[in-house]
Amino acid sequence: MARVEEEIPFTRLGYSYYNTSPIIRALYAAGETERANALLTDFSEHQKAYVLYLLTFPENKGDLIIDQFIDRITWLEMMLMIAYDNGQMEIARDLDNFFIDNRIPYPSELRQQ
């Protein structure tokens, strides 16, 4: 995993759920909890900042950002689940509080409506 991070740093590759979650899951599976937590937290902080930025758009511009918004909150919910599944309750609580504090619905709840 260290070699992957050296060869393809996220600063060059960019963060997405699809290229980040498999690495986080692999790190947890390999017992590298500290590294997995660091990557999950860094990824989540980037997504939270972007979601907060998207929330600054006026309501009449919602059609322009809705797909990005849904992607980002979905990725955050998935990170919450990964943290929870791996016993990282502090990280899971932080992500959960982000949804609650910003009155953002969980994507899984939106799909059920």
pLDDT, tens digit (0-9, with 9 covering 90-100), for 26-66? 999 999 999 999 999 999 999 999 999 999 999 888 889 99
Cβ(112)–Cβ(84) below 8 Å? no
Report the alpha-carbon distance of residue 80 to residue 92 in Å, rounded: 5
Domain boundaries along the sequence of the chain: 2-112
12 pLDDT above the threshold of 90? no
Q: Is the alpha carbon torsion for 52, 54, 57, 59 positive or negative?
A: negative
Query: How much is the pTM?
Result: 0.85
Report the alpha-carbon distance of residue 45 to residue 106 in Å, rounded: 17
Look up residue 85 and give its two tokens. Answer: 């599944």
Report the alpha-carbon distance of residue 68 to residue 93 in Å, rounded: 24
pLDDT, tens digit (0-9, with 9 covering 90-100), for 62-104? 889 999 999 999 999 999 999 999 999 999 999 999 999 999 9
